[in-house]
Structure 1
């Protein structure tokens, strides 16, 4: 019987490209959230600095995220080939969130820097979500 090949690398490429800007957006959102209920001061320079930071994150983020995303996507693809429960996209998301939080806990950010913990966890979950690409679904 023919079984369609896995195409996890297509989603992994998207995840690699999105990881840098997603991390910076999550880091900024978390830092703004932690300042509440203070008002968020808007500076006109934010219109230049924000897109510039995202541009640099888009240029240099793939160098940082390439290896972790490819390793995670490959491992999850192998596991999902053997265990049908791991073929569900939500499971990939949960595993990604768990890995992101676990990594932030290992480096000590979970206790010290809440913004970094949120950014790592959210970006890891998003990358796992995007990496889930199979022909059969």
Structure 2
């Protein structure tokens, strides 16, 4: 069973990597229902982790801005969680540079180090996306 804090951190970290993501994209990527996602987003807004911003074209509320000081706050982080966050950063940088196969390799290592089923599922979906993208460009 995944704790509330883990789901909130997963959503907050996804928004950090993908600030333009729509709620539907977040829900699909993290395997969270739309109703649960709305609840998580509202609790993140109340806690100050994220804030809503208006779109300049039509003034609709759609974009979330992350308060990075709040994300993943857990008193003392262990070296294991530091290693996980470093792998996450490396994978994101590789994805941004278009090095999909290398990113998939890093994500495989990150998946092996996950302790929850949800964590493995989130990383696996990112890894699968990298593999599909690499095959499409080859």
For normalisation by structure 2, the TM-score amounts to 0.34
- More strand, by proportion: 2
The structure whose residues are more often helix, as a share, is 1
Quick one: higher RCO (CA 8 Å, sep 6+), 1 or 2?
Answer: 1
TM-score normalised by structure 1 residue count: 0.34
Structure of larger gyration radius: 1
